[in-house]
Each structure stands twice: as structure tokens, then as C-alpha cells.
Amino acid sequence: MKKYNESKTKVSDLKIAYIGGGSRGWAYILMKDLAQEPDLSGCVNLYDIDFEAACCNEIIGNRLSAREDVVGKWKYEAKKTLQEALTDADFVFISILPGTFDEMESDVHLPEKYGIYQSVGDTTGPGGIIRALRTVPMFQKIALAVKEYCPKAWVVNFTNPMTVCVRTLYKTFPQIKAFGCCHEVFGTQQLILDMLKEKYGVQAKRTDLKTNVVGINHFTWLTEAKYKGIDLYELFGEYVKAHPNGTGVHTNPNWVNLPGTNLNMVKFDLFKRYGVIAAAGDRHLAEFCNGYWYLKDPDTVKSFGFTLTTVEYRKKELNSRLEKAKKYASGEAQFVLDDSGEESVRQIKALLGLGDIVTNVNIPNMGQVPNNPKNAVLETNAVFSEDSVRPVFAGEVPLRVNALVMRIIEEQEAVVEAGMTGDYELAFSVFVNNPNVNLPFAAARKLFDEMLENTKAYLPFYEQYKRSRNNG
């Protein structure tokens, strides 16, 4: 049970449940941030379907807590069941990999045989849709467990597809206190900081920029952007005009094989088309648009200065993280306690009443975006205060891009419904509507069925679907 000290400045005995984390990426950032926060302490329950991974993280976490230079002392404990991990938790973090790299391989690369290229494949497009179908049942299960074991906990999701995951949590347990966090918006804010510096020599911080965020995760837009009397929209527009080839040149000759690399050319192209600043990385933005614009074929991708993320690359990346993890566990390596730029610890403090913050999160639409449907999970600014996350009124999505935004909202709503009820025909409806699926009907059907087959281990309703397909 969490406890405030007498002067109400510190909270101890907090209980955090961390679901997933086997991938070691985000888990370590949280550990480091907690370690640097003097006003909070308690225990972190680690749960992963790979129990060994959780145990390894337990060792790493406790090693960290034991360090003398660490002011935030936490006890890490691997748990064998979701129940054990969640019982009485104050906060729940979810950062799982839905399925394995085998399913991801099918998501991302099978469509290539049909001429469909995806730069990420985890949010929309054929890959994003199929990934969503296997993720939804996992989040149903988590939501039910939260309902049973810690209904008043704050649940923070980091898993993709973000919107689908958060929506599933709320559809399954409407009273859940959940939100989703993603740092894609930060990247665009950083880009604006660079522009500010280049033009005015000003070295500002991200939080000094006053931006109004609107949209859905990975396809968010800044509808207002100001910095102390400077209109950042004007600044952005001038920059785009002056930089027809994006923010620079690729310095690494091998850049085409380095996912994440990009020159913001998609972002700038969208600005030219719509006059609105898109606030996510190019490889995400591209996937929400007409497939012929940025993802027609590898050459088109290259011409826009960004890259496709292969699953092979992801595997390599994971391996190097696992190597690193072993070293952390053995003590061979140590975390460097730097500023992660992430906001989770500040959010926790705000939710405990230790200082309000305003930041962008993914939560259901209660009216903050009047021209998007109620309950759709949207990304906007919100006020974090004691035991509350309340959206700030964000205003309408600009008319110019709202058709694109509405399309993905409808797609994801249908996918959640399909995943929860097993109505995979509904999922197919949006699959064939996806702007990257420029295929004849029969080919689209074949691709869908193959992809579904490849992920069937995670689909509770697959057998029924198969039967009805065979009969239909």
C-alpha cells in the first residue's frame, strides 16, 4: 500500500507491475529513470511469458538498486503469473511483443510477394492489421486480469499497435484507467528545436514549445506550434520550402539498410500537400497514405530518403540487446544514469499528486476532438494530476487530413471488434480497404488468408473462420 511521508513530498511502498520486458528495450529505461528519482520507492513485479527473461531483469534491477549512486531504491521481483504480478498494483506497464519474430516475418514480408512494401508493419497496412488481430486477445486477457486483481491501478501501454491495444483495454473493462505512451511526437518537436536553433540561434527545450497535438498514434499532427512569440508554423513552412530534399544527406553510404534513418522528406511532402505538420517518423507516416505515394516499391522509398525495417534487422538488434542484458546481469556492464527524455516517472509523480504535467497521450475521445468519433483512442495533450488523466480540448482535425485520420480510426475500430469477436470477415473488409492493399479482390483474399494462417496460433477464433471459408 503506497504511503506518503508526513511532509507529503515522497511516496514509498509503491507497487509497479511490468508486463513484458523480455525485449529489454523499454524496461531498462524505466529502471534507470526510477533509479534517479529520489521521491519514489517500492517494488516492481516483473512478468513475462518468458520467465527467464523476467528473472534476468530481476537481477539487473536489483543490482541497479544496490548501487550507491542510485537514489531511487526499488525491489525487483520476477513473478510466474499475471495474478501474482498484478495483485494490488498501483501502476501497470505493458510492453510486450505480440507473438514472435516468425509472425512478424509474415506480417512484414509476405505482402512483398504481392508487391506491397511496408516500412514498419506494426500499426496499419496488411502487417499492422494481422498483428492487431493476434494482439487484441492478449489485451483482452490483460484487461480482465486488471479488472480482477488491481482495478484501480493506472495502466500504461507501450505496445503496438498502440491505438488497438488501448481501445481493447477500454472495450473489455470500461472503468480501466489506462493510457498509451509513445515518443514519436517528441521527434518532430526535436526537429522544430533544430529549426529554431538554425534560424534564431535559440537553444530551447522540448517543453518550451507550445504544440497542440491531434490525431491517432503514429499519425499525429501539430495544429498549433508556438515558441514565445515565434510562429513555428511559419518557421516550418519556410524550412520545408528551402529544403526540397529534406533535413540533410545520408552520411552512411549503407543507409538504405539502416531502419529509422530518414530525412523527413515524407513529413515535408505531407506539409506541402496539406499545410499541416505531421508529428511522427516518416516510416510510420508513409504507411497511412496511398500506397503509391511513398511505398510503391523500394525505389520510391529510397527516393523519399527513408528505409524499410526488415525483420532480419530487428532480430539482429534484439540479439545485441540480449548480449547487453547478459552483461548487465553479470555486472560486466552498468547502466549510465543519463536523462532518458521519457516521461513515465514524471507521469507517475503527477498521478500521485506530486505536481501536474501536460503531455501527449493516447486515450479515448471524450470530446477533445469533436470531428472524430467518441471513444476512438486518440493522441492529444492531457493534464496528468492526482489520480486523473484528463484530455485537453484539442479542437478539430484539419479538414485537409481528416479523411485520412477517419479512415484509420474506422480501420482500427473494425480490427478491434474483429479481434474480440472473431469476425475476421470484418477485418478482411478493412484489409481490402487499406490504401496499401492495391490488389484485385481474389489476390487480396489470398494474401489475407495466408497471413492469417501464419498467425493462427494466436487467434482464438481461427478454426471457425477456416470452416466458414471452406463452406462459404
DSSP string, 447-461: HHHHHHHHTGGG-TT
297 is a contact residue toward a copy of itself (CB under 8 A): no
8 is a contact residue toward a copy of itself (CB under 8 A): yes
CA angle 107, 55, 335 (to 5 degrees): 85
Considering the complex, state which of residue 199 and residue 210 has its C-beta at the smaller distance from a copy of itself: 210
Residues 107-166 interacting with a copy of itself (rule: CB under 8 A): none
Q: Quick check: is 250 catalytic?
A: no
Contact 357, 346 (CB under 8 A): yes
Q: How far apart are CA 70 and CA 35, in angstroms?
A: 5
Q: Which residues of 273-298 are buried (b: 16+ CB within 10 A; e: fewer)?
A: eeebbbbbbbbbbbbbbebeebbbee
Residues 215-244 interacting with a copy of itself (rule: CB under 8 A): 224, 226-229
Contact 391, 192 (CB under 8 A): no
Choice from 311, 377, 439, 447 touching a copy of itself (CB under 8 A): 439
All three cell numbers of 103, joined, read 509472425
Smallest distance from a copy of itself to CB 149, Å: 21
Out of 109, 183, 243, 250, pick the active-site residue: 183
275 is a contact residue toward a copy of itself (CB under 8 A): yes
Which region, judged by CB under 8 A, interacts with a copy of itself, from 169-177, 214-222, 399-407, 449-457?
A: 399-407
Smallest distance from a copy of itself to CB 358, Å: 6
Cis preceding linkage at 244, omega within 30:
no
Smallest distance from a copy of itself to CB 31, Å: 25
Choice from 190, 212, 340, 454 touching a copy of itself (CB under 8 A): 212
Which region, judged by CB under 8 A, interacts with a copy of itself, from 106-114, 337-345, 412-420, 455-463?
A: 412-420
Distance of CA 48 to the CA centre of its chain: 19
Choice from 321, 327, 370, 467 touching a copy of itself (CB under 8 A): 370
Q: What number of chain residues touch a copy of itself (CB under 8 A)?
A: 71
* Binding pattern for the stretch 48-77 against a copy of itself, x by CB under 8 A and - elsewhere: ------------------------------
Q: How far apart are CA 256 and CA 301, in angstroms?
A: 9
Q: Which of 38, 51, 32, 41 is nearest to 14 (CA)?
A: 41
Choice from 61, 99, 215, 435 touching a copy of itself (CB under 8 A): 435
Considering the complex, state which of residue 4 and residue 51 has its C-beta at the smaller distance from a copy of itself: 4
Q: Which of 236, 232, 234, 262 is nearest to 250 (CA)?
A: 262
**First-to-last C-alpha distance (Å) of the chain:** 55
Residues 239-268 interacting with a copy of itself (rule: CB under 8 A): none
In angstroms, the Cα distances linking 300 to 119, 271, 320 are 12, 18, 30
Smallest distance from a copy of itself to CB 464, Å: 17
Considering the complex, state which of residue 61 and residue 422 has its C-beta at the smaller distance from a copy of itself: 422
Q: Which residues are catalytic?
A: 183
